[in-house]
Amino acid sequence: MSNQTIKTPCIGLCSTVYGDLVCRGCKRFHHEVINWNGYDEQAKRAVWLRLEQLLVQVMTGKVEVFDPAALRGQLVARKIRFVPHQSEYCWAYQLIARGARVINQLEMYGMVLLPEFRDWGLPELRDAIDREFFLLSEAHYERYIAPGFLKDAMGQ
């Protein structure tokens, strides 16, 4: 695994340049993408934490990580980048996102699909996870961020 620290949630699939208010790639809000390099560490941590919480919410509804050490070991062995201090459910997402087409036995990676998803293919599950993660990020934006932007635009 690269010794480089992951400095941004960006995954190189930015859709905010096309006008999306929430990036379909990294799930950050448009203003977070634009202002990321100007954020202090506290602001960056807040964004990372929100993304982690939303992703964990999605992942715990689809998989069970029963052996975090095995999962971590597999990520390292396969040189899949992950954020070590994040939840093992974020690690599970990185594994599925990068290995959906080649993984045959999730149990070897320290995790299993929950019963209602056991007949899903991993590419299909990966896409469903990504869609749900995006929808949660979009809902969070609409509920908590957009009203503030409207107030600012109206001078309130």
pTM for this model (two decimals): 0.89
Tens of pLDDT, residue by residue over 66-85, are 999 999 999 999 999 999 99
Domain extent, residue 73, equals: 49-153
> Helix axis angle, 88-99 relative to 41-60, nearest 10°?
70
Residues of the chain with pLDDT > 90, as a percent, come to 75
User: Does pLDDT of 155 surpass 60?
Assistant: no
- Domain membership of residue 36 (yes or no) is no
**Is residue 20 in a domain?**
no
Using one digit for the tens of pLDDT, what is the confidence trace for 14-64? 877 777 799 999 999 999 999 999 999 999 999 999 999 999 999 999 999
Please indicate, yes or no, if residue 43 is contained in any of the structural domains.
no
Sequence letter at residue 136: L
Q: Is 40 among the domain residues?
A: no
Nearest-angstrom CA–CA distance, 32 and 26: 11
Total number of domains in the chain: 1
